Amino acid sequence: MESNRQKKIAGVLQLDLVDVLQGAAREGGLTGVLISVSKVTVPTDLSIAKVYLSIFPVDKAAELIKGIKINKAAIKHEIAQRTRHQLRRMPELFFYIDDSLEYIDNIEKSLKGEEDPIKNTDLLDDRDIV
């Protein structure tokens, strides 16, 4: 269970990360791309922060996450400057793609009959049958 301190730090990081990442996307000329920070988790020692990003459109996600990971030091520095009065030590940032919304969308399409994996087996993952 998360402590109040962990929740507070995660919330502060989440708000500032949204600001920094969306600003960087605009400066980089990426129009029509939405980056949202869906969740930030921080362990009890506050040494790391796992940042889960939802990126739309989904086809840009891999490219954007690669750019974010390359610029991780600059992002960490910017967040450290913004939170210098709230955090003594800036946690190490780790970025992950949150694909839960895409997963839910695929389930909804299957339930509505738009994409039937029984009729179209290409929708299923390739698995070895033993």
pLDDT string in tens for the chain (130-residue length): 889 999 999 999 999 999 999 888 888 777 788 888 999 999 999 899 999 998 888 888 888 888 898 999 999 999 999 998 888 889 999 999 887 777 777 778 777 766 666 666 666 665 554 4
Does residue 43 have a cis peptide bond before it, meaning omega lies within 30 degrees of 0?
no
- Whether residue 65 contacts residue 75, with contact meaning beta carbons closer than 8 Å, is answered with no
Output the pTM of the full model: 0.76
Does residue 57 have a cis peptide bond before it, meaning omega lies within 30 degrees of 0?
yes
Cα separation of 72 and 17, whole Å? 11
Q: Which domains does the chain have, with CATH numbers?
A: 4-98 (3.30.300.20), 100-130 (no CATH)
Cα separation of 49 and 9, whole Å? 9
